[in-house]
Amino acid sequence: MILPENLPPVIRHWIGGELTDAADGRTFDVTDPVSNAPYAQAARGAAADVDRAVAAARVAFPEWSRLSNRARATTLYRIADAVEARHDRLAAFESFDSGLSITQARGQARRAAENFRYFADVIVALGEEAYRQGEAQFSYVVRQPVGVAGLITPWNTPFMLESWKLAPALAAGCTLVLKPAEWTPLSASLWQEIFDEAGVPAGVVNIVHGIGEEAGQALVDHPDVPLISFTGSTDTGRHIIRSSAQHLKTTSMELGGKSPVVVFADADLEAALDSVVFGVFSLNGERCTAGSRVLVERPLYEEFTRRLAERAANVRVGLPSDPATEVGALVHPEHYARVLDYVEIGKKEARLVAGGTRPAHLAEGNYLQPTVFADVERDARIFQEEIFGPVVVLAPFDDEDEAIELANATQYGLAAYIWTGDLKRGHRLAHAVESGMVWLNSHNIRDLRTPFGGVKASGVGREGGARSIDFYTESKIVHVAL
Ligand code: NAD
């Protein structure tokens, strides 16, 4: 296996501008998903470390929050440049640590940089509201950053998802403490040099590594952190909302999904197939918006199933560092075991038409041949539960009503994809499906101005565009007699 250059032997916290060990000196093993052996140690944060980080963020808050929007935006542009300057190193780190194919990891720096540039533009363009009641009263809104934001992020495309929170929080004038996911802390070690190079003052951004139940929980429980932005699993999200109630914190929850792809017989078959293959097998299927339940109108069902199985069999599974690889290694042996459990459950619940095993040429590492199950009943566990790997389930439907019923038959509601040649029907479906986001004859193209988030068990709240700034600020109204 090839190790990326400049791997840090120890991944430290970054608190008040200093790289530091945990207060009690504890560390945890960081492994890669090919050898599953430790390649580094990371500081194992606990309440004392979170206390220090929150204190540093509080000290930095007055100066950072009082800067003009333009001044903060200028810094955000410098951050974006510093991110892009590390394009190759970030891709190598991300691929090595999370198992993402290097080709797909290469897009991450550009997307992360775009988050900083975009929120810089938003904060400069955003005005504040004013109201006038005849000649009697004038009222205006003051938008104020909430203070120290707590950011908690998952292990899938970790750096990019961290940037999705860091950028609006900083643009809004918050200082913050970030707790990256413990399975993939490596790319977060780049933030220190990025923020230093961009001239972000010490203490504005603080990073505490560690286990969710320890460092993450301490951040959620901290009385001086009024806001938690969380992306992760639905169960953890529920737990964080319960814990946050103690201090009545503002929370944003971007949670799990089991998103349907509805394919009508009049759809552009090639485009729909391409979209399904991309949607559930790219990023190793470890994608919150993966189209993991494919519902196909009966006249097309057998052909679609056969062709999807063929396409799945041709997906190249291999070493994450190989540019030819399309599906790399799943992030961690625990997650791999969970995905394999679902595959075994699926073999009992449905008809396996592709994959279902480790590829023969890969003896070690967390690899799974892209897997397709057909004839999956709606109460099957593989239909209902998020697998978060390269596994897709197929079921037929007979008419529009049944398509809607099946699409809505899980607890989740993050994304939905609809493929049809009849645009009126497409819009009807788009309105009826229970999800925060719908792509109609299109897939996964994001526009940062649009609301991002889910309904039902997929989340609470929307981020994206000015909504993100709303989340990281409080609106205060000032009434003035005229
Ligand atoms: P997870 O819930 O296990 O962990 C997410 C983060 O929460 C990690 O940093 C973890 O350390 C921390 N955490 C765990 N317990 C905690 C606690 N008690 N208090 C505070 N923090 C705690 O999720 P994961 O397995 O890392 O990520 C995969 C999940 O994330 C999937 O369900 C996926 O769908 C979801 N996800 C959602 C979106 C979205 O935008 N909706 C995006 C990406 C991932």
Which atom number of ligand 1 is nearest to the Cα of residue 288? Answer: 34
- On the question of pLDDT at 363 being above 90, the answer is yes
Residue 463 near ligand 1, beta carbon < 6 Å: no
Distances (CA, A) of 460 to 237, 246, 254, 256, 453: 9, 18, 7, 11, 7
Task: Show contacts of 85-91: CB within 8 Å, 24+ apart.
Answer: 86/190, 86/193, 86/194, 89/4, 89/5, 89/6, 89/190, 90/159, 90/187, 90/190
Structural tokens at position 133: 């009641």
Handedness of CA 220, 223, 229, 235 (dihedral sign): positive
pLDDT of residue 6: 85
pLDDT of residue 233: 98
CA–CA gap between residue 304 and residue 160 (Å, rounded):
33
Query: Which of the 8 DSSP states describes residue 257?
Result: -
- For residue 262, give the nearest of 459, 441, 444 by alpha carbon: 441
Candidate from 156, 286, 384 with most ligand 1 atoms within 8 A of CB, to mutate: 156
**Ligand 1 centre distance from Cα of residue 232 (Å):** 2
- On the question of pLDDT at 291 being above 70, the answer is yes
Q: For 187-212, what is the mean pLDDT?
A: 98
Asked if 186 contacts 39 with a C-beta cutoff of 8 angstroms, the reply is no
CA–CA gap between residue 198 and residue 84 (Å, rounded):
12
Residue whose CA lies nearest to ligand 1 atom number 34: 256
Residue-wise burial string across 145-158, b where 16 or more C-beta atoms lie within 10 A, e elsewhere: bbbbbbbbbbbbbb
Poorest-pLDDT segment among 41-50, 275-284, 442-451: 442-451
CA–CA gap between residue 109 and residue 54 (Å, rounded):
28
Residue 45 near ligand 1, beta carbon < 6 Å: no
DSSP strand pairing (371-374 vs 351-354):
antiparallel
- For residue 355, give the nearest of 304, 322, 393 by alpha carbon: 393
* Catalytic positions, written as ranges: 254
Asked if 253 contacts 461 with a C-beta cutoff of 8 angstroms, the reply is yes
Q: Hey, which residues does 260 pair with through a beta bridge?
A: 293
Residue 286 near ligand 1, beta carbon < 6 Å: no
Confidence category of residue 445, pLDDT binned at 50, 70, 90:
confident
pLDDT of residue 443: 87
pLDDT of residue 27: 98
pLDDT of residue 44: 98
Candidate from 221, 243, 288 with most ligand 1 atoms within 8 A of CB, to mutate: 288
Residue 388 near ligand 1, beta carbon < 6 Å: yes
Residue whose CA lies nearest to ligand 1 atom number 14: 212
Q: For 81-99, what is the mean pLDDT?
A: 97
pLDDT in tens, 233-258: 999 999 999 999 999 999 999 999 99
Share of the chain above pLDDT 90, in %: 97
Residue whose CA lies nearest to ligand 1 atom number 37: 255
Structural tokens at position 340: 């394999």
CA–CA gap between residue 331 and residue 334 (Å, rounded):
9
CA–CA gap between residue 208 and residue 26 (Å, rounded):
13
Task: Tell me the three-class secondary structure of 387-442, residue by residue.
Answer: CCCCEEEEEEECCHHHHHHHHCCCCCCCEEEEECCCHHHHHHHHHHCCCCEEEECC
**Ligand 1 centre distance from Cα of residue 151 (Å):** 11
Rg (CA), the chain: 23
What is the interface pTM, i.e. ipTM, of the complex?
Answer: 0.97
Residue-wise burial string across 112-138, b where 16 or more C-beta atoms lie within 10 A, e elsewhere: bbbbbbbbbbbbeebeeeeeeeeeeee
**Mean pLDDT, the chain, integer:** 97
Residue whose CA lies nearest to ligand 1 atom number 39: 254
Residue 162 near ligand 1, beta carbon < 6 Å: no
Residue 281 near ligand 1, beta carbon < 6 Å: no
**Ligand 1 centre distance from Cα of residue 236 (Å):** 6
CA–CA gap between residue 389 and residue 382 (Å, rounded):
12
Residue 181 near ligand 1, beta carbon < 6 Å: yes
**Ligand 1 centre distance from Cα of residue 156 (Å):** 9
Residue whose CA lies nearest to ligand 1 atom number 13: 212
Q: Hey, which residues does 394 pair with through a beta bridge?
A: 294
- On the question of pLDDT at 1 being above 70, the answer is no
Confidence category of residue 30, pLDDT binned at 50, 70, 90:
very high
Residue 206 near ligand 1, beta carbon < 6 Å: no
